[in-house]
Amino acid sequence: MITMELPEITSTVIAAISIFSVVYSAIVMKKAGVSVFLLQIQTPISIVKRFLRLSGGRQKFLVGRTKLSPDDIYQKLVAIGYQWDYFAYNDDGEQVSMRKLYKDRQVHVRAFDDGTIRMHDEFNYEIEPVKHLQEPLAPASKVEIAAVIAALEGTPEIDSEEYDTPLAYAMQRLGEKDLHTGSSQ
């Protein structure tokens, strides 16, 4: 009879989740591309979500659509200052998850297998982890949305109700600075 202690069980479970994630990612690599494949197999939340087969829909804040591949989306967002978001929850059908940091906040961009692009603004989880979890998501700035849509050769598709952010709130959220240029308003 084989007996295992809790640390051995934990290690075995983590190894199984990792192997499952690599196999699953390899299967979808042909569609996603090599860069995105390499990034996805390292995303801890993606591994757990895939293993547990969790599904939770998609967050709001649709901003547009693109026909670019996940690899192209990744490369173009890196070129305008975004980085891969390694510790983000993955929405259904999500292929690319990237963020741009500013102050104690981040703009989060998600691209999906159907070409949709969603963006929101939130607290940065490294600096404000509690606020990141507790505060509601806010619309990304219109300047940042326009920059992402242009970079991704996309078509804008903004739900005006979701993006009708009061000016006072937007200015407070951005610290009276234009996110894209960093200049004072």
Write out pLDDT tens, residues 30-69. Answer: 555 555 655 555 455 555 655 555 556 677 888 999 999 9
- Of 38-52, 121-135, 150-164, which one has max mean pLDDT? 121-135
**Six token digits for residue 102:** 């500013």
- Comparing C-alpha atoms, which of 104, 40, 122 is closest to residue 74? 40
Residues in contact with 130: Cβ distance below 8 Å, sequence separation at least 6, in sequence order? none
pLDDT surpasses 70 at 135? yes
d(CA 28, CA 31): 6
The arithmetic mean of pLDDT across residues 149-177, rounded, is: 64
User: How many angstroms separate the first and last alpha carbons of the chain?
Assistant: 71
Q: Which residue has the higher pLDDT, 58 or 143?
A: 143
Q: Residue 146: pLDDT band by 50, 70, 90 thresholds?
A: very high
- Quick check: 58 and 92 in contact, CB under 8 A? yes
83-84 and 94-102 as β-strands: parallel, antiparallel, unpaired?
antiparallel
For 24, counting Cβ atoms within 10 Å of its Cβ (0-12 exposed, 13-18 middle, 19+ buried), the class is middle
DSSP-assigned letter for residue 74: H
